[in-house]
Structure 1
């Protein structure tokens, strides 16, 4: 028997956005409680942990936010002692941002908390095969949204 049901894309949008908000809030609350670290800072610190040479521009591009907004977030993380800027040997107009030893320790601890919360909120709820399909679907949607002429772009995301 053929299924004539039509997926209501407005409902898909609503559910996806509501889930993203709930997941963000839960992960943020857990990171704040266990590590005294907000999720926005954690995201930036994880990028710095993965890349040995990272400029403000690189962070802005990764998260689809403005250079000015990125600079303000990095300023706050730096003021807390978790990262530092150093001269960029390849470009005197920019600096490179790197984690301090304290920032690296915090990022490592926060990653454990982050992964545990994701396992609780997502991994323990969805069977592995469905999760693999969901991940592939999200990847396809993001890739499709990044295509020229598409209404969705990475620049509309926020950190």
Structure 2
């Protein structure tokens, strides 16, 4: 499985790949934490809650398995997160009419209002962190590279939780 992923660019060195991984993970962590600090201070939510609200807004009537697959997180963990979103009044869970073993989860009106309030904060914080440091063409190039890598990993079902 991994050989297929690396066969596209055999000239990459171990050092290049290690640097790519290190920079990718450290940037993601720092951006995620900074966004979380701002979202928590201004809206009382975490970055992960914001992401789940965005997902539910774009994918109404999602099953826990759909959400878990998108975020590459275990079904049990996603189920607990959805329980918390439902308890907070930000999500609605209804029985799945085509499969009694599962539920369909959607954003509630309260969750949609919170998302609408938080989106400008998220966008402004991200703009402050990235603008002036990275050019638009660099963002486009990086986004393209990451999208290609993500599609490949998802197609090969790499990195899915085992439990």
For normalisation by structure 2, the TM-score amounts to: 0.82
Find the aligned partners of 1:155 and 1:42 in 2 and give their Cα distance.
22
Find the aligned partners of 1:105 and 1:10 in 2 and give their Cα distance.
41
Distance 1:153-1:122 versus aligned 2 partners, 3 A rule: farther
Find the aligned partners of 1:84 and 1:52 in 2 and give their Cα distance.
10
Find the aligned partners of 1:79 and 1:34 in 2 and give their Cα distance.
20
Q: Please, which of 30, 37, 41 is the counterpart of residue 29 of structure 1? A: 37
Find the aligned partners of 2:125 and 2:151 in 1 and give their Cα distance.
26
Match of 2:94, SS state, is strand
Deviation at 1:123, TM superposition (A): 3.6
Say if 2:21 is the partner of 1:13.
yes
Deviation at 1:105, TM superposition (A): 0.2
Find the aligned partners of 2:111 and 2:130 in 1 and give their Cα distance.
27
User: Which deviates further from its counterpart, 65-74 or 50-59?
Assistant: 50-59
Find the aligned partners of 2:142 and 2:16 in 1 and give their Cα distance.
18
Q: Deviations over 1:69-119 (max 9, x none)?
A: 100001111111111211212222211111221111001111111111111
User: Which deviates further from its counterpart, 109-118 or 9-18?
Assistant: 9-18
Q: Which runs of 5+ in 2 are unaligned?
A: 1-12
Deviation at 1:15, TM superposition (A): 1.8
Find the aligned partners of 2:155 and 2:99 in 1 and give their Cα distance.
30
Match of 2:48 in 1: 40
Q: How many residues align?
A: 148
Match of 2:32, SS state, is helix
Find the aligned partners of 1:57 and 1:146 in 2 and give their Cα distance.
15
Deviation at 1:42, TM superposition (A): 1.1
Match of 1:50 in 2: 58
Match of 1:85, SS state, is strand
Alignment of structure 1 residues 135-146 onto 2, 5 Å: 135-146=143-154
Q: Which runs of 5+ in 1 are unaligned?
A: 1-5
Match of 2:106 in 1: 98
Find the aligned partners of 2:143 and 2:131 in 1 and give their Cα distance.
12
CA contact (8 A) 1:123 1:131 kept: no
Distance 1:111-1:9 versus aligned 2 partners, 3 A rule: same
